């Protein structure tokens, strides 16, 4: 076998797949090394993609030329827009995916990607010479040379599943874990941490009494993740809703001594925003019930996922807990719930490119960086794959700003702020979320992806057509209507109509109850030829015009700080006036600019003032 590659990606989860596809598509000879070919793109927990803030990440991955959105659309069995009753900034697409189809489609894409080679094997050692990556060794005895390596091991590093008193050193779903790479990373100077996540039971759908449950239907007339998806996915499956009750809570509270989360069996730190059911019952003791969703795993299986019911209780207690739920009195558990512990690194040891600060050519992406979720992993994987490629091509790296994307927020957070628990993306983490909507991800990022070389002609032409329609509509929507011509439209939508002057289509869109869809239906002769997405873009910009202008001012102010670069070799101990804690944190993080420095925990506004004065002194 040829064992010489430009880039080696270790791990074929959502981070690894995006990394490998990006580098191969940019022309770099890439090896994707995975523990098991059957775990490629595996939806180890919930077979869903998207959700609050996560849907934004998927749309951004797509806009940059990534794969996740395409795959999610193709494997959709149900889709819904979360927070649809709220503002556009927090609306997020979420799809229930066919678990096996998602994996199969992604494996096929990878196998047929030019420049990409797929190999099963366990990476055990990263070869380094003069602080530069030179290759990867496997436990099976092979050696591969490379110029860059991207570690995307997910939750597989020394992973251990826990069910009551039962533990086993394996990865998700019983897949083999990686034992040796943790020791290698320690030898390279990385401090490893122990994090924990979990997954609920899988139930045989034939044994569920759906007549007792609340049905959750999908939605048809909503956007897709990928702008390349021309045929909208069909809703072919329903989800259902049930609730815990007093009996469920008693079973948990009376047996906390058997819960690994509370008896010391679990040592890793779990995700605050996705807790186990026992943690929910303990922490929210005033709540009489917690909602649970029953979600099908695919169209070729009877397995149903019980979202919100993650636990590591003993199996006999899991059974009692499930049977206490309405509609699940006779449910048959096909797979037990379990907690899983794994090793990860402190991502503050990385640059915003996701390259190690100490070892050139070594990149990290996904849950190894202390994040949770497929979407967060895919976003990091894409950026790591792009940056490793750009490094070898001798080009400037990609560092997305917080004002440009949720991906920029995600990466800036994990490399700047210490993550003491699995990091989950949320809309509240983004300062400029009204600007960073999922519906305009292509407008924000497609040109960036094109400049990098990842956006192909088909995607780029779709993007340009969209922009052309938006620009045309800027004039078209100026058409004026007499009050008598729009009287019915305003009355039907509960809007006040002044009969003293005419109204433009833009004036109508500004009204809270008149949507792009309603306006297109009102004026089909004028707006019928335009895609609803283009009209929607104007609607959002018009309705939130004042807020958007205010946000533009804030972004401009933040950009001034981002432009004030800090030398990477700067010794902060030599700067008088900085507090001791600030000196320590700044030397540890090595921020790229004043804006990043201001977000470091332990660096005060007074410290930033000192740095500002220092920069002025060295620039004169």
Phi, psi for residue 612 in degrees, rounded to 5: -60, -45
Rounded to an integer, what distance in angstroms lies between the CA atom of residue 178 and that of residue 156?
6
CB 589 within 8 A of CB 600: yes
Confidence of residue 1 (pLDDT cuts 50, 70, 90): low
Please give the pLDDT value at position 468.
98
Provide mean pLDDT across the span 186-213: 96
Encode pLDDT of 12-63 as tens digits: 999 999 999 999 999 999 999 999 999 999 999 899 999 999 999 999 999 9
Confidence of residue 267 (pLDDT cuts 50, 70, 90): confident
What is the secondary structure of 547-579 as a DSSP string?
HHHHHHHHHHHHHHHHTSB--TT--GGGSTT--
Q: Is the per-residue pLDDT at 273 higher than 80?
A: no
Encode pLDDT of 573-583 as tens digits: 999 999 999 99
End-to-end CA distance of the chain: 57
Encode pLDDT of 534-561 as tens digits: 999 999 999 999 999 999 999 998 899 9
Burial track 603-615 (b if 16+ CB lie within 10 A, e otherwise)? beeebbebbeebb
Rounded to an integer, what distance in angstroms lies between the CA atom of residue 182 and that of residue 341?
13
Spatial CB neighbours of 616, under 8 Å, sequence gap ≥ 6: none
* CA distances for 485 relative to 340, 407, 497, 501, 522, angstroms: 63, 46, 11, 12, 10
Handedness of CA 80, 82, 86, 89 (dihedral sign): negative
**Domains identified in the chain and CATH numbers:** 202-339 (2.40.30.260), 460-548 (1.10.10.1800), 563-618 (1.10.150.570)
Please give the pLDDT value at position 620.
64
Spatial CB neighbours of 157, under 8 Å, sequence gap ≥ 6: 177, 178, 181, 182, 192, 342, 343, 344, 368
Phi, psi for residue 378 in degrees, rounded to 5: -60, -40
Burial track 356-392 (b if 16+ CB lie within 10 A, e otherwise)? beebebbbbbbbbbbbbbbbbbbbbbbbbbbbbbbbb
Confidence of residue 269 (pLDDT cuts 50, 70, 90): confident
Enter the pTM of the model. 0.95
Phi, psi for residue 516 in degrees, rounded to 5: -60, -40
The rounded Cα 316 to chain-centroid distance in angstroms is 35
Please give the pLDDT value at position 382.
98
Rounded to an integer, what distance in angstroms lies between the CA atom of residue 76 and that of residue 122?
32
Rounded to the nearest integer, the mean pLDDT of the chain is 95
Q: Is the per-residue pLDDT at 309 higher than 80?
A: yes
Under DSSP, the state recorded for 42 is -
SS (H, E, C) 148-202: EEEECCCCCECCEEEECCEEECCCHHHCCCECCHHHHHHHCCCCEEEEEEEECCE
- DSSP E strands in 7-131: the ranges are 7-10, 30-34, 48-50, 76-82, 92-97, 116-120, 123-129
Encode pLDDT of 233-256 as tens digits: 999 999 999 999 999 999 999 999
- Per DSSP bridges, beta strands 148-151 and 362-364 are parallel
* CA distances for 348 relative to 21, 149, 159, 315, 601, angstroms: 26, 18, 22, 38, 11
Under DSSP, the state recorded for 115 is T
Q: Is the per-residue pLDDT at 487 higher than 80?
A: yes
Encode pLDDT of 436-468 as tens digits: 999 999 999 999 999 999 999 999 999 999 999
Rounded to an integer, what distance in angstroms lies between the CA atom of residue 277 and that of residue 441?
35
At which residue do the structure tokens 């917690």 appear?
A: 290
Rounded to an integer, what distance in angstroms lies between the CA atom of residue 425 and that of residue 502?
45
Confidence of residue 92 (pLDDT cuts 50, 70, 90): very high
Confidence of residue 201 (pLDDT cuts 50, 70, 90): very high
Rounded to an integer, what distance in angstroms lies between the CA atom of residue 193 and that of residue 220?
43
Please give the pLDDT value at position 2.
78
- DSSP E strands in 317-456: the ranges are 333-335, 338-345, 362-364
Within 10 angstroms of residue 451's Cβ, the number of other Cβ atoms is 11
Phi, psi for residue 389 in degrees, rounded to 5: -70, -45
């Amino acid at each position: 076998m040829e064992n010489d590659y430009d880039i080696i990606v270790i791990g074929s989860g959502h981070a690894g797949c995006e990394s490998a596809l990006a580098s191969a598509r940019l022309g770099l000879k890439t090896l994707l090394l995975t523990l098991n070919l059957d775990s490629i793109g595996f939806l180890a927990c919930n077979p869903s993609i998207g959700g609050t803030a996560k849907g934004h990440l998927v749309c951004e991955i797509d806009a940059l030329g990534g794969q996740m959105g395409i795959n999610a659309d193709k494997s959709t069995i149900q889709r819904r827009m979360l927070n649809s009753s709220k503002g556009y900034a927090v609306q997020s697409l979420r799809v229930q995916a066919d678990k096996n189809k998602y994996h199969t489609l992604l494996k096929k894409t990878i196998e047929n990607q030019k420049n990409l080679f797929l190999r099963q094997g366990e990476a055990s050692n990263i070869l380094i010479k003069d602080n530069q990556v030179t290759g990867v060794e496997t436990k099976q005895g092979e050696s591969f040379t490379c110029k860059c390596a991207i570690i995307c091991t997910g939750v597989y590093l020394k992973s251990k599943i826990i069910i009551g008193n039962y533990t086993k050193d394996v990865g998700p779903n019983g897949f083999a874990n990686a034992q040796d790479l943790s020791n290698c990373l320690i030898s390279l100077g990385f401090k490893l941490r122990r994090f924990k996540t979990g997954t609920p039971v899988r139930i045989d759908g034939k044994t569920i009494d759906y007549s007792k449950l609340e049905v959750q239907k999908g939605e048809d007339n909503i956007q897709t993740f990928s702008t390349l998806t021309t045929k909208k996915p069909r809703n072919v499956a329903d989800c259902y809703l049930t609730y815990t009750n007093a009996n469920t809570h008693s079973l948990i509270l009376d047996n906390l001594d058997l819960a690994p989360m509370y008896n010391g069996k679990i040592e890793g730190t779990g995700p605050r925003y996705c807790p186990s059911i026992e943690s929910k019952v303990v922490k929210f003791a005033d709540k009489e019930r917690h909602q649970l969703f029953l979600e099908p795993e695919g169209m070729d299986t009877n397995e149903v996922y019980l979202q919100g019911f993650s636990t590591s209780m003993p199996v006999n207690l899991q059974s009692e807990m499930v049977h206490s739920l309405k509609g699940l009195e006779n449910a048959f558990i096909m797979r037990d719930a379990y907690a899983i512990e794994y090793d990860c690194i402190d991502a503050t040891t990385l640059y915003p490119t996701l390259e190690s600060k100490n070892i050139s050519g070594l990149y990290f992406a996904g849950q190894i960086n202390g994040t949770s979720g497929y979407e967060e992993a895919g976003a990091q994987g894409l950026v790591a794959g792009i940056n490793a490629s750009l490094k070898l091509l001798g080009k400037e790296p990609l560092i997305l700003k917080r004002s440009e994307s949720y991906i920029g927020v995600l990466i800036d957070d994990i490399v700047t702020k210490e993550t003491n628990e699995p990091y989950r993306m949320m809309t509240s983490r983004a300062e400029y979320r009204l600007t960073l909507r999922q519906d305009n991800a292509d407008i924000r990022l497609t040109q960036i992806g094109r400049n990098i070389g990842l956006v192909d002609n088909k995607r780029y032409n779709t993007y340009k057509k969209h922009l052309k329609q938006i620009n045309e509509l800027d004039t078209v929507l100026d058409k004026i209507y007499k009050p008598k011509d729009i009287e019915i439209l305003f009355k039907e939508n509960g809007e006040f109509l002044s009969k003293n002057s005419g109204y433009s289509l833009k004036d109508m869109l500004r009204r809270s109850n008149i949507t792009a869809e309603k306006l297109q239906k009102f004026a089909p002769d004028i707006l019928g030829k335009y895609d609803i997405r283009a009209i929607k873009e104007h609607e959002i910009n018009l309705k939130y015009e004042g807020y958007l202008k205010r946000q533009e001012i804030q972004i401009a102010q933040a950009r001034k700080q981002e432009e004030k670069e800090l030398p990477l070799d700067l010794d902060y101990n030599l700067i008088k006036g900085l507090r001791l804690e600030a000196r320590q944190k700044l030397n540890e993080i090595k921020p790229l600019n004043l804006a990043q420095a201001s977000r470091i925990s332990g660096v005060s506004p007074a410290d930033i003032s000192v740095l500002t004065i220092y920069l002025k002194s060295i620039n004169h």
